[in-house]
């Protein structure tokens, strides 16, 4: 049996609290390597090419990743430098803004709620078009007072979300990504825009870059023909980038008597979350192609245009 609407609302409360009330912990960006062609020549930095799904090393945006580099089942490669996935673009220092500018972005798709976007507006390089797409507009929301109460009362959180309840709630939320009218409308708008070369390179993000962004990335990679096990690997990489950022929040919650699996389940990702979205998609539409055509109104010709744009064949 699926979780109640109340439990689903409580789970979104916990995630939104992190977005509104917890400052970001920055990690150190990886250093660049240097090379010289001759001993007397001036050393020049050589940019490292990331492996597929790897963080780009922007400290204030740790879950910023290029979706390029993945191999499809029929031997094509997803092009680098066309579309990026990310966590929120807020509180970005000048040195990181320079790194964002180097991506030459044309469009930024913000998948957050109005409350999230207003609390921490996107900070973008000059010339990037901002597009707000509220995936959860049709889903119940709650106020900041309830957020504070939940985190300050671990006993209440344990009762509402402990003993595996948080995982069940998140699985229900992922099913909403498939069936909510607002999710279908806004994912349609985003994917159609991502199929327009004039709007690329583009970036899409939510708050932590793992749930609404996670399904968007998984759906796109699956449409392109990337094997599901590879799609899952890309999805789970968010744990490596996000959990360390909030470790102090987790530790404080546990020290106050909260079950550790509650913040881990809310701030991280689990295979069963994405599997719930795929299950909902297959139950209602059968295939990813039918999901795009029937749920999102993106027909076979438009789907092929997206493949033609993003796939490189030797």
Q: What is the CATH number of the domain that holds 145?
A: 3.90.190.10
Confidence (pTM): 0.85
The reply to whether 61 falls in a domain is yes
The reply to whether 231 falls in a domain is yes
In the prediction, which pLDDT does 150 show? Answer: 61
The reply to whether 23 falls in a domain is no
Q: How do strand 311-312 and strand 77-78 relate by DSSP bridges?
A: antiparallel
If one counts the domains in the chain, the total is 1
**CA-CA-CA-CA dihedral for 9, 13, 16, 21, to nearest 10:** 170
What is the distance between the alpha carbons of residues 5 and 54, in angstroms, rounded to a whole number? 35
Instruction: Note down the domain range covering 192.
Output: 56-312
Computed on alpha carbons and rounded to an integer, the radius of gyration of the chain in Å comes to: 20
The reply to whether 18 falls in a domain is no
In the prediction, which pLDDT does 242 show? Answer: 93
Measured distance between the N- and C-terminal CA atoms of the chain, rounded to whole angstroms: 48
| Nearest residue to 273 (alpha-carbon basis) of 303, 302, 239 | 239
* Mean pLDDT split into 10-residue runs, the chain, 314 residues: 49 49 35 37 48 95 98 98 97 97 98 93 98 93 49 84 89 95 98 98 96 98 98 97 91 93 91 98 98 98 98 92
The reply to whether 302 falls in a domain is yes
| Nearest residue to 85 (alpha-carbon basis) of 232, 185, 235 | 235
- Taking the CA atoms of 311, 51, 235 and 199 in sequence, report the sign of the dihedral they define: negative
What is the distance between the alpha carbons of residues 241 and 54, in angstroms, rounded to a whole number? 9
Contact in structure between 310 and 81 (CB atoms under 8 Å): no
The reply to whether 269 falls in a domain is yes
> What one-character DSSP code corresponds to residue 296?
S
The reply to whether 31 falls in a domain is no
Helix (H) or strand (E) holding 167, with range, is: helix 165-179
The reply to whether 4 falls in a domain is no
């Amino acid at each position: 049996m699926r979780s109640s609407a109340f439990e689903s609302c409580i789970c979104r409360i916990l995630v939104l609290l992190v977005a509104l009330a917890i400052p970001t912990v920055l990690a150190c960006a990886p250093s660049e390597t240097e090379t010289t062609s001759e001993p007397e020549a001036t050393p020049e930095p050589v940019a490292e090419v990331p492996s597929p799904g790897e963080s780009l090393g922007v400290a204030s945006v740790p879950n910023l990743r290029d979706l390029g580099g993945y191999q499809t089942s029929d031997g094509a490669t997803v092009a680098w430098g066309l579309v990026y996935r990310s966590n929120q673009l807020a509180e970005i220092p000048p040195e990181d803004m320079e790194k964002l500018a180097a991506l030459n972005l044309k469009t930024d798709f913000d998948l957050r709620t109005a409350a999230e976007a207003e609390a921490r507006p996107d900070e973008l390089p000059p010339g990037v078009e901002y597009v707000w797409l509220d995936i959860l507009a049709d889903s119940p929301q709650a106020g900041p007072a309830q957020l504070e109460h939940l985190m300050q009362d671990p006993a209440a959180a344990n009762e509402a979300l402990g003993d595996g309840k948080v995982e069940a709630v998140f699985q229900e939320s992922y099913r909403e990504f498939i069936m909510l009218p607002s999710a279908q409308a806004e994912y349609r708008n985003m994917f159609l825009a991502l199929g327009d070369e004039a709007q690329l390179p583009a970036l899409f993000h939510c708050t932590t870059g793992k749930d609404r962004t996670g399904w968007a990335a998984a759906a796109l990679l699956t449409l392109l023909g990337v094997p599901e096990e590879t799609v899952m690997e890309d999805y789970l990489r968010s744990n490596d980038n996000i959990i360390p950022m909030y470790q102090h929040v987790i530790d404080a919650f546990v020290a106050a008597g909260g079950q550790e699996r509650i913040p881990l389940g809310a701030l991280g990702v689990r295979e069963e979350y994405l599997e719930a979205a795929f299950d909902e998609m297959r139950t209602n539409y059968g295939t990813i192609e039918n999901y795009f055509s029937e749920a999102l109104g993106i027909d076979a010709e438009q789907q092929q245009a997206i493949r033609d744009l993003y796939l490189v064949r030797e």
